[in-house]
């Protein structure tokens, strides 16, 4: 039904509605209010002694009078009274007002009251006859020419068009079990609640339904995903591999390895697993162990990292780990010489190279494998799902291992990675000392530099992350270099300082990084290119300028560059934050080293959009639920489990409507990119 089928909605109105994305009566019904005005606290006129927002219950004393003022505008005035006093009403430029208010009738008026020497005046209040009894009033997102009152009237009419019994996507049994109200009730209650309790019940019902639909959708993606894997792993070599490790795996690492081994040995479909572990939790060793088992069973392994530096560092690590084995490890990145790339590609095609570490060069058309058995991606948030898929397409349904240090709040992770099984490494290697984090302002820089000098004198190294402009901007380079030059000349004239920034060629970056890793450079000034992965255990100080410009999770990642060895490490946040909220945000970092806690806070403060970067999470857009609403997320998961348990077949009749909703949600989001 088009909106024009409603009374008072002609083609012009319809056009205005369209601007809000509303075409049909159905769209109107699901055009939920963005906020509510609570009129339940009615104030007597005599008690209003200060300007402010009030709700009064009063009778219009005489018809509203219109007067023309300058520029053809209209000023409408009226007077209202209750049993304690009277009040002036004024409306600007609304020629309909006089016909909308009837004298002698009692209304609720809600709005701003100004008090001056001439008395009290209420300016353009919203109103509703007391006889209609509504106390909580919906506020809608509006657009030019279309005000809240018009929208709410149209919604009211639309709701009246609902059939006596509305088909409910949530089966009655589910609603009963989880204490959720019916759909029709919820739709009335979300637009025109009689009281706060009704509003809350309606909201809960609609939010829960949307998250259930989302959850089911993600589960569907996962179950359709990947067929049978021809990669046959018959023997577990992880115990043998532990002989090559210079340390004993933590229990959490062992569990993660066991999860993977179980996936690849006992399941017919390929492994689809995410290893989530805080920075420094030792994900690389887990991946190495699993790769070792796959390779020993006669297959190749590919390990993809997001940056050149990281790929090289991983390659060095793997080469060392596999030194005493017969496994051949090679690097494949864009920066290699053409002849070198050719050589590595030939080795991959023939199968001579069993383990390759690389960047995006791994997924170009030129790279082919002999028999790829497992694909690993590190720092998964840096890769699109398409790139993950591309890497997988290099083999015949190979196993997939995805690693992420971005601690995504657990409940959200379950949805976002709905297509992946998750192992969490929630334990750091022993002997790690937690990094001490402090917050300073820029006036205290001198003290911080003094501290760096002391640490360097004691043999340690330091990172300084300088203020970054926009990523990729020229200013970025200029600022990093200028800042470093200043430091070298003035502060650290007798200490070797290096600079890395985003615009350097990868060989240049590599050279500087290597010098820092080899302890030739004592201080590394950098933009966030050091964000991921680099491992220099001797570095004990991380100074971050303009800390307020970074997200908490990003700061946590940066902090993870230190505290990787046996020395006590420090993270110094420098910020002239100026406002209390920023200070509180940064204090979170000072108070905990728990990446999950930080991620939760980050999510609460910034919302998932910022948290993951623009659209990076690839989730559909929600109309009423909120990704940061952990409680509802958890509830929806319970409901989905209940549904799957109760109805066995997801395609059954009782779930038809719910399935249709699932399809709709994912169409609306325009992407089911997680597959």
Site residues for ligand ADP per CB under 6 A: 247, 249-250, 253, 277, 279-285, 405, 429, 535, 564
Query: Which residue's C-beta sits nearest to ligand ADP?
Result: 282
Nearer to ligand ADP, 202 or 404 (CB): 404
Q: Is 219 helix (H, G, I), strand (E, B) or coil?
A: helix
Q: Virtual CA dihedral for 131, 137, 142, 146, nearest 10 degrees? A: 0
Nearer to ligand ADP, 172 or 566 (CB): 566
Overall residue count recorded for the chain in this entry: 675
Nearer to ligand ADP, 301 or 655 (CB): 301
Nearer to ligand ADP, 212 or 252 (CB): 252
Closest distance of CB 428 from ligand ADP, Å: 8
Token output for 526? 């950098």
Q: Which letter, b or e, does each residue of 22-45 get, where b requires 16 or more Cβ atoms within 10 Å of its Cβ?
A: beebebbbebbbeebbebeebeeb
Closest distance of CB 376 from ligand ADP, Å: 12
Distance CA 512, CA 503 (A): 13
Nearer to ligand ADP, 351 or 537 (CB): 537
Q: Is 556 helix (H, G, I), strand (E, B) or coil?
A: helix
Distance CA 381, CA 296 (A): 29
Picked from Mg ion, ligand ADP, none, the partner binding residue 151 (CB below 5 to 8 A depending on kind) is none
Other CB atoms within a 10 A radius of the CB of residue 594 amount to 14
Picked from ligand ADP, Mg ion, none, the partner binding residue 429 (CB below 5 to 8 A depending on kind) is ligand ADP
Picked from Mg ion, ligand ADP, none, the partner binding residue 148 (CB below 5 to 8 A depending on kind) is none
The 8-class DSSP code of residue 639 comes to: H
Picked from ligand ADP, Mg ion, none, the partner binding residue 281 (CB below 5 to 8 A depending on kind) is ligand ADP
Distance CA 304, CA 379 (A): 9
Closest distance of CB 405 from ligand ADP, Å: 5
Picked from ligand ADP, Mg ion, none, the partner binding residue 250 (CB below 5 to 8 A depending on kind) is ligand ADP
Closest distance of CB 617 from ligand ADP, Å: 21
Distance CA 205, CA 207 (A): 6
Closest distance of CB 533 from Mg ion, Å: 5
Sequence-distant (6+) residues with CB within 8 A of 388 are 375, 377, 380, 400, 402
Sequence-distant (6+) residues with CB within 8 A of 393 are none
Closest distance of CB 378 from Mg ion, Å: 6
Nearer to ligand ADP, 229 or 377 (CB): 377
Query: Which residue's C-beta sits nearest to Mg ion?
Result: 533
Nearer to ligand ADP, 358 or 395 (CB): 358
Sign, CA dihedral 91-94-98-100, equals: negative
Closest distance of CB 283 from Mg ion, Å: 5
Closest distance of CB 335 from ligand ADP, Å: 21
Picked from ligand ADP, Mg ion, none, the partner binding residue 282 (CB below 5 to 8 A depending on kind) is ligand ADP
Cα–Cα nearest to 335, from 326, 348, 344, 327? 344
Closest distance of CB 323 from ligand ADP, Å: 14
Picked from ligand ADP, Mg ion, none, the partner binding residue 535 (CB below 5 to 8 A depending on kind) is ligand ADP
Picked from ligand ADP, Mg ion, none, the partner binding residue 171 (CB below 5 to 8 A depending on kind) is none
Picked from Mg ion, ligand ADP, none, the partner binding residue 280 (CB below 5 to 8 A depending on kind) is ligand ADP
* CB 613, CB 626: distance < 8 Å: no
Q: Is 185 helix (H, G, I), strand (E, B) or coil?
A: helix
Nearer to ligand ADP, 250 or 527 (CB): 250
| Interface with Mg ion (CB under 5 A) | 533
- β-pairing, 52-60 vs 106-116, is antiparallel
Sequence-distant (6+) residues with CB within 8 A of 147 are none
Nearer to ligand ADP, 77 or 432 (CB): 432
Closest distance of CB 597 from ligand ADP, Å: 17
Nearer to ligand ADP, 240 or 634 (CB): 240
Picked from Mg ion, ligand ADP, none, the partner binding residue 253 (CB below 5 to 8 A depending on kind) is ligand ADP
Q: Give all strands (DSSP E) within 329-442, no chain letters.
A: 329-332, 355-358, 372-377, 399-404, 421-425, 436-440
């Amino acid at each position: 039904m088009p909106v024009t089928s409603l009374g008072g909605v002609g083609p012009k109105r319809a056009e205005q509605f369209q601007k809000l994305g509303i075409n049909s009566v159905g769209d109107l019904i699901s055009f939920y209010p963005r906020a509510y005005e609570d009129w339940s606290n009615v104030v007597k006129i005599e008690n209003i002694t200060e300007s402010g927002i009030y709700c009064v219950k009063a009778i219009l004393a005489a018809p509203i009078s219109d007067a023309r003022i300058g520029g053809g505008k209209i000023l409408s005035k009226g007077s209202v009274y209750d049993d304690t006093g009277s009040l002036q009403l004024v409306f600007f430029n609304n020629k309909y007002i006089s016909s909308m208010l009837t004298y002698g009738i009692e209304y609720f008026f809600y709005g701003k009251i100004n008090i001056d020497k001439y008395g009290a005046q209420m300016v353009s209040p919203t109103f509703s006859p007391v006889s209609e009894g509504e106390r909580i009033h919906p506020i809608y997102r509006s657009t030019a020419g279309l005000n809240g009152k018009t929208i709410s009237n149209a919604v009211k009419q639309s709701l009246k068009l609902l059939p006596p019994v509305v088909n409910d996507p949530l089966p009655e049994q589910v609603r009963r079990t989880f204490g959720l109200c019916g759909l029709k009730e919820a739709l009335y209650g979300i637009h025109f609640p009689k009281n706060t309790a009704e509003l809350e019940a309606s909201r809960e019902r609609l939010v829960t339904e949307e998250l259930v639909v989302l959850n089911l959708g993600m589960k569907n993606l996962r179950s359709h995903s990947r067929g049978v894997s021809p990669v046959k792993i018959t023997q577990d070599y992880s115990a043998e591999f532990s002989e090559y490790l210079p340390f004993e795996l933590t229990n959490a690492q062992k569990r993660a390895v066991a999860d993977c081994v179980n996936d690849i040995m006992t399941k017919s479909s390929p492994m689809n697993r995410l290893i989530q572990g805080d920075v420094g939790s030792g994900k690389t060793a887990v991946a190495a162990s699993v790769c070792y088992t796959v390779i020993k069973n006669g297959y190749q392994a590919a390990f993809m990292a997001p940056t050149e530096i990281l790929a090289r560092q991983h390659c060095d690590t793997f080469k060392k780990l596999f030194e005493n084995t017969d496994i051949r490890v090679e690097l494949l990145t864009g920066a290699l010489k053409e002849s070198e790339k050719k050589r590595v590609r030939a080795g991959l095609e023939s199968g001579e190279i069993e383990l390759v570490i690389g960047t995006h060069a791994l997924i170009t058309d030129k790279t082919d494998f002999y028999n790829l058995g497992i694909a690993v991606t590190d720092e998964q948030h840096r890769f699109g799902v398409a790139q993950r898929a591309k890497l997988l397409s290099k083999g015949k349904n190979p196993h997939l291992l995805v690693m992420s240090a971005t601690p995504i709040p657990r409940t959200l992770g379950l949805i976002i990675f709905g297509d992946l099984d998750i192992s969490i490494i929630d334990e750091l290697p022993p002997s790690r000392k937690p990094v001490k984090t402090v917050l300073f302002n820029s006036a205290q820089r001198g003290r911080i530099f003094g501290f760096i000098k002391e640490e360097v004198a004691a043999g340690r190294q330091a990172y300084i992350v300088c203020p970054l402009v926009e990523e990729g901007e020229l200013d970025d380079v200029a600022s990093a270099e200028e800042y470093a030059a200043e430091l070298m000349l003035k502060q650290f004239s007798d200490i070797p300082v290096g600079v890395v920034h985003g615009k350097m060629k990868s060989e240049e970056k590599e050279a500087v990084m290597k010098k820092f890793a080899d302890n030739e450079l004592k201080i590394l000034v950098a933009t966030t290119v050091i964000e991921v992965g680099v491992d220099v255990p001797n570095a004990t100080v991380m100074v971050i300028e303009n800390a307020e410009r970074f997200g908490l999770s990003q700061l946590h990642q940066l902090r993870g560059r230190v505290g990787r060895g046996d020395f006590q490490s420090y993270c110094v946040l420098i910020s002239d934050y100026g406002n209390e909220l920023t200070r509180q945000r940064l204090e979170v970092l000072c108070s905990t080293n728990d990446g999950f806690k930080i991620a939760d806070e980050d999510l609460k403060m910034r919302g998932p959009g910022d948290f993951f970067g623009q659209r990076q999470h690839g989730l559909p857009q929600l109309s009423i639920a909120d990704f940061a609403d952990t409680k509802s997320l958890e509830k929806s998961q319970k409901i989905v489990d209940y549904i799957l348990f109760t109805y066995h077949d997801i395609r059954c009749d009782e779930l038809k409507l719910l399935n249709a909703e699932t399809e709709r949600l994912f169409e609306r989001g325009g992407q089911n990119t997680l597959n």
